Amino acid sequence: MGQPYPPFRAAKGRRVFGGIRRWLTAAAGALALTGGLVAVGPQASAAGLTQVTGFGSNPGSLTMHAYAPDGLPAGAPLVLALHGCTQSASDYYAHSGWPKFADQYEFAVVFPQTTSANNANSCFNWFDSADSTRGQGEALSLKQMVDTAVARYGSDTGRVYITGLSAGAGMTANMLAAYPDVFAGGSIDSGLPALCATSVSAAYTCMYSPPNKTPAQWGDLVRSAAPAGTTSWPRVAIWQGTSDTTVVPANATELRDQWTNVWGIGQTPSRTESLSGGTTLSEYDDAGGRPAVSVYSVSGMAHGLAVDPGSGAEQCGTTGTYYLDTICSSYHTARFWGLDGEGGGGGTPGTLPAPTGLTVGGTTDTTVSLSWSPVGGAASYQVYRGGTKVGTTTSASYTDTGLSTATTYAYTVAAVDSAGATGAASAQVSATTTGFRATCHTASNYDQVAAGRAYQSGGYTYANGSQQAMGLWNTFTTHTLKQTAPGYYVLADSGCSA
């Protein structure tokens, strides 16, 4: 797969940076820039992707494209969605899944676009301070798009969000640092810490071996980029594949350190939860008990945007180059921001007190039963799993169903008054479903033995439990083992689902 993250520029009156031949060769196999502005996404709506011109002085020489559902009410949220290298606005519109949730939750989406005239591989120039600093270059062009969209659609200036993939994620992080007064939240998908690089050489370092700064050092970079005296910060989602070799997973750790420090909270998660697609969610709460930073680690995912094609409520997008079938990141990001109107980072709590006595009454392989003490004045209760609302009940008990086996979940409950206002959330409890969860492991015979999944005898390797022969005990022979019970593994080279 071609690398979608070449950090060099080939225009705007600046010098052409080194390494172009190598990156052009890599880009030849990557996704070609799509032309046209006609919507080609799977979502059904009379609205479509349109180009918006005359959105300001546009010092970054970007183009603005927007999607607004028909009948969008005034005061709706606004999302900016930045494509990755070798991609375009229409490509991101078609694959990312954002139009589906714009229709469902009623908000407008701006899809900014850069071109090969700005960067030889159509990357946003996240590594160049002339383009990523407040009031300059591409950063100012993006801010002008926000202003134009707010005026055009009557968007709520208190609910403006930004997301991006790869180079678009690098620019997203910088925009959150430079404009915390503009964005209520952001999502950095396969990206890097804000201001990690201000040169080409530093960009490569960040991508492949990010600096191991302290949380305070990372946080200081954000504080130095923001307007003086800033005290309110955006809520940040961080998405990262564990098998990403273009922007290595260590970047997600540095991003977590950076934004938790900005929020003044620690680096120990308030809760963790297993989601679909092999995704682990770690949440870091602010002082009020609401997630300020959420890290989504997708097991085995390479470099790209997590999508999950299908018609289900939690599914979205279509697969393609750098659009990887794992989990719908756009759905979970929209929920984290509170765009669905149900909790998330953007809800305003009512006056009812937090329920007390939340306890786990029992678990099965797929269910968790909860109960709590009734709250006076409560008309109903909302139950949250990992910060996302999963049910409403009028009684002081609830059974959550359809869960994964042998998985730990975190729960809170909030009371809702007769006017529909949601009160403060309860203290969190954790519950683990029963049963055994099958797992798959691909490695050399040597590593399988070292991990305790196999054993060697007479220079040959055998799977623990099944004792199936795996060949010579060395680092050159590779097999996939599926664990079907504690200590029991079977060969699964023809395909392994867990």
- Each of the 498 residues of the chain gets a pLDDT tens digit; together they read 334 444 544 444 333 333 332 332 333 233 222 233 333 333 334 478 999 999 999 999 999 999 999 999 989 999 999 999 999 999 999 999 999 999 999 999 999 999 999 999 999 999 999 999 999 999 999 999 999 999 999 999 999 999 999 999 999 999 999 999 999 999 999 999 999 999 988 999 999 999 999 999 999 999 999 999 999 999 999 999 999 999 999 999 999 999 999 999 999 999 999 999 999 999 999 887 889 999 999 999 999 999 999 999 999 999 999 999 999 999 999 999 999 875 444 444 467 898 999 999 999 989 999 999 999 999 999 898 866 678 889 999 999 998 888 888 888 898 988 877 788 888 889 899 998 878 899 999 999 999 999 999 999 999 999 999 999 999 999 999 999 888 999 999 988 876
Strand partners, 410: 430
Q: How far apart are CA 357 and CA 360, in angstroms?
A: 10
The CATH class, in words, for 20-337 is alpha beta
Q: What is the pLDDT of residue 51?
A: 97
Tokens 């375009």 sit on residue: 88
Q: Residues near 450 by Cβ (< 8 Å), separated by ≥ 6?
A: none
Listed in sequence order, the residues at least 6 apart from 92 whose beta carbon sits closer than 8 Å to its beta carbon are 81, 82, 83, 84, 98, 111, 165
Residue 389: C-alpha distances to residues 104, 293, 352 (Å): 16, 18, 18
What is the topology classification, in CATH, of domain 359-432?
Answer: Immunoglobulin-like (2.60.40)
In the structure encoding, which two tokens stand for residue 243, read together? 């098998």
The residue ranges of every structural domain in the chain are 20-337, 359-432, 439-491
Helices (H), 52-136: 89-95, 98-105, 129-132
Show the tokens assigned to 146: 């926000």
**DSSP H stretches of helix in 106-136:** 129-132
What pLDDT shows up at residue 40? 32
Q: What is the pLDDT at residue 184? A: 95
What was the pLDDT predicted at 10? 45
Q: Is 274 a catalytic residue?
A: no
Q: What is the pLDDT of residue 261?
A: 96
Of these residues, 122, 141, 166, 282, which one is catalytic?
166
pTM above 0.85, yes or no: no
Residue-level pLDDT at 186: 98
Q: Same CATH fold, 359-432 and 20-337? A: no
Residue 498: predicted pLDDT: 65
